[in-house]
């Protein structure tokens, strides 16, 4: 039994929509799902824009499974985690001996995803020198692996994702306009979690049900002050951060009530340690939160955390030092 003398909050009565792993009661998300369905049915290249943890990868997989290519392969690559050379051979493959370390032929993702969908996450990080090659394979539907003149056919539908404005990057000269138009035939926008406030509760219960099934501990109520804090918190890491918090609460608390003190300190309202402001407090705080979330999620393995954040390991180290993160 929950401690019913403590103020608590019951599960909302509204039945959420479940669609391809996406769970929501928000009107904004329902609109997103409608647009996603239409977009998936076409064969156009899609660009999903949304902040970290808003469900871009989930949406990309949904697009593939709802598309006429669903029986074909789905291949994915995060463009923020590789050097230009490695990304080139990941995308286009290479032949043995093409460069030092190319000890065998390797098939690229454009070949592996033939007749299916290729998902390029963090497309804004695509190095400038690779952008013409990407444009060419999308236009011509064939390419040659690194170090080879062989022509390989590649009919792929490209789904890309980014948390940045490509238009702004085009203006800044780091992204090619012609490539932007080619990959953003249909743009889709995922709202941040704070823009779908009612989903905070709905998704908390979704994750509670998920962790309850593990059977270690069963939660049946959320303390009123915990829900209040969750509704006030800005969730810079969006749904991923919410899920991590629920998991954190399972580990930290006991009994059948999820309590305020079981949530991560920043959600409880603890201030983030401030050094001198660099980008202004809000951007800085958001970044610190994202880094903390990624580190927690990766069990403090820096390489894994960097991959989750879509930045290089050395950049993560720099930020940890700069922000004084423990």
Ligand X SMILES: Nc1ncnc2c1ncn2[C@@H]1O[C@H](COP(=O)(O)OP(=O)(O)O)[C@@H](O)[C@H]1O
Strands 8-9 and 221-223: antiparallel
Burial (CB count <10 Å: 0-12, 13-18, 19+), residue 101 = exposed
Both tokens assigned to 18: 């479940």
- Which residue's C-beta sits nearest to ligand X? 55
The reply on whether position 225 binds Mg ion by CB under 5 A is: no
Residue 257 binds which entry of Mg ion, ligand X, none, with Cβ cut-offs from 5 to 8 Å by kind? none
DSSP string, 105-116: -EE-HHHHTTTS
Stretch that binds ligand X, among 2-10, 16-24, 142-150, 227-235 (CB under 6 A): 16-24
Helix/strand/coil for 18? strand
> Could you give the CA distance from residue 123 to residue 80 in angstroms, rounded to a whole number?
8
Contact between 49 and ligand X by CB under 6 A: the answer reads: no
Residues 40-59, mask of contacts with Mg ion (x by CB under 5 A):
-----------------x--
Q: Which two tokens stand for residue 12?
A: 């909302």
Distance of CA 268 to the CA centre of its chain: 24
Neighbouring C-alpha atoms within 13 Å toward the C-beta of 295: 15
Residue 18 CB, nearest distance to ligand X (Å)? 8
With CB under 6 A as the contact rule, the residue among 8, 23, 80, 253 that binds ligand X is 23
State the nearest-atom distance from the C-beta of 56 to Mg ion, in Å: 5
Q: What 3-state class would DSSP assign to 78?
A: strand
Q: Tell whether residue 304 is a contact of Mg ion (CB under 5 A).
A: no
Residue with tokens 């909050």: 9
Residue 152 makes contact with ligand X by CB under 6 A? no
Rounded least distance, CB 298 to Mg ion, Å: 14
9, 36, 46, 52: residue in contact with ligand X (rule CB under 6 A): 52
Q: Does 50 bind ligand X (CB under 6 A)?
A: yes
User: Of residues 54-83, which lie at the interface with ligand X (CB under 6 A)?
Assistant: 54-58
- 171 class by beta-carbon count within 10 Å (0-12 exposed, 13-18 middle, 19+ buried): exposed
Q: Could you give the string, one character per residue 234-263, with x where binding to ligand X holds by CB under 6 A and - elsewhere?
A: -----xx--x--------------------
User: What is the spatial distance between Cα 203 and Cα 207, in angstroms, rounded to a whole number?
Assistant: 6
Under the rule (CB under 6 A), what is the footprint of ligand X? 22-24, 50, 52-58, 203, 206, 239-240, 243
Under the rule (CB under 5 A), what is the footprint of Mg ion? 57
């Amino acid at each position: 039994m929950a401690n019913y003398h403590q103020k608590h909050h019951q599960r909302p009565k509204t039945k959420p929509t479940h669609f391809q792993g996406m769970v929501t009661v928000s009107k904004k998300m329902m609109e997103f799902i409608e647009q996603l369905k239409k977009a998936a049915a076409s064969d156009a290249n899609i660009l999903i824009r949304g902040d970290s943890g808003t469900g871009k990868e989930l949406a990309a997989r949904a697009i593939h499974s709802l598309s006429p290519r669903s029986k074909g392969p789905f291949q994915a690559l995060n463009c923020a985690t590789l050097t230009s050379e490695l990304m080139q051979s990941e995308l286009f493959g290479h032949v043995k001996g093409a460069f030092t370390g190319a000890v065998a032929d390797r098939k690229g993702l454009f070949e592996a995803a033939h007749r299916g969908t290729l998902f390029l996450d963090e497309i804004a990080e695509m190095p400038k020198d690779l952008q013409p090659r990407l444009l060419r394979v999308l236009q011509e539907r064939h390419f040659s692996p690194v170090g080879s003149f062989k022509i390989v056919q590649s009919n792929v539908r490209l789904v890309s994702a980014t948390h940045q404005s490509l238009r702004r990057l085009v203006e800044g000269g780091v992204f090619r306009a012609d490539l932007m138009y080619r990959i953003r035939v249909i743009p889709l926008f995922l709202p941040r979690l704070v823009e779908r406030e009612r989903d905070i509760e709905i998704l908390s219960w979704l994750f509670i049900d998920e962790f309850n099934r593990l059977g270690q501990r069963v939660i049946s109520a959320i303390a009123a002050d915990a829900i209040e804090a969750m509704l006030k918190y800005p969730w810079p890491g969006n749904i991923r951060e919410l899920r991590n918090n629920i998991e954190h609460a399972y580990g930290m608390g006991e009994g059948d009530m999820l309590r305020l003190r079981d949530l991560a300190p920043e959600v409880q309202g603890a201030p983030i340690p401030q050094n001198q402001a660099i980008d202004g407090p809000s951007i800085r705080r958001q970044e610190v939160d994202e880094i903390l979330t990624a580190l927690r999620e990766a069990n403090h393995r820096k390489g894994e955390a960097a991959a989750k954040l879509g930045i290089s390991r050395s950049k993560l180290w720099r930020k940890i030092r700069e922000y004084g993160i423990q």
